[in-house]
Amino acid sequence: MLKEYVKEELIFLDLVVADRTELFKKLSKLFLEKGYVKEGFYDFIVEREENYPTGLDLETHTVAIPHGNPEFIEQSFISVVTLSQPIKMKKMENADEEIEVDLFFVLGLNDGTQHLQILKQVIGLIQQETFVHELKEAQSSAEVIEKINGLAVEK
């Protein structure tokens, strides 16, 4: 199922950003230009991240899974983003704590019914330390797609 949503044109490797605000601005602009989101996506994702943080500390690595509201999504997608330097994100389980994150799975799903199933698959993948390491080392979007397709077994 993930294969259908991970878009090669929405894989961004080694992005350079100072903080989460800059990251969300940059991504929102790119998603809007490519026709994946509507106006308002940026404001929603910033507010959502503030109130319901998505940073996950998985002991050996960290990941964040920010996601938008279906009302701001034109066509469903999953964007995979790596950063050249980690930025601070609030922890999902404790918003008072921040963690350094350099791998993001940004979910833009316009069908709320599939949201939990896809989120569960993404979490299953990011719990695999080897997979996360390989994504961070990937040199191209095609390589990321290959890794995800190799591990994202249909359920």
pLDDT tens track for 1-33 = 788 999 999 999 999 999 999 999 999 999 999
pTM over 0.85: yes
> Residue 152's pLDDT is what?
54
Right CATH number for 2-150 from 3.40.50.1000, 3.40.930.10, 3.40.640.10, 3.40.50.300? 3.40.930.10
Express as a percent the part of the chain with pLDDT over 70. Answer: 97
Measured at the alpha carbon of residue 58, what is the angle toward residues 53 and 64, in degrees to the nearest 5? 35
Outline where the chain has alpha helix (H). Answer: 2-5, 20-33, 41-51, 112-126, 129-137, 141-151
Cα-based distances in Å from 78 to 7, 84, 94, 138: 7, 20, 25, 17
pLDDT digits (tens, 9 = 90+) for 86-124: 999 999 999 999 999 999 999 999 887 778 889 899 999
What are the residue ranges spanned by the domains of the chain?
2-150
- Cα distance between residue 148 and residue 79, in whole Å: 12
Least confident of 8-17, 43-52, 144-153: 144-153
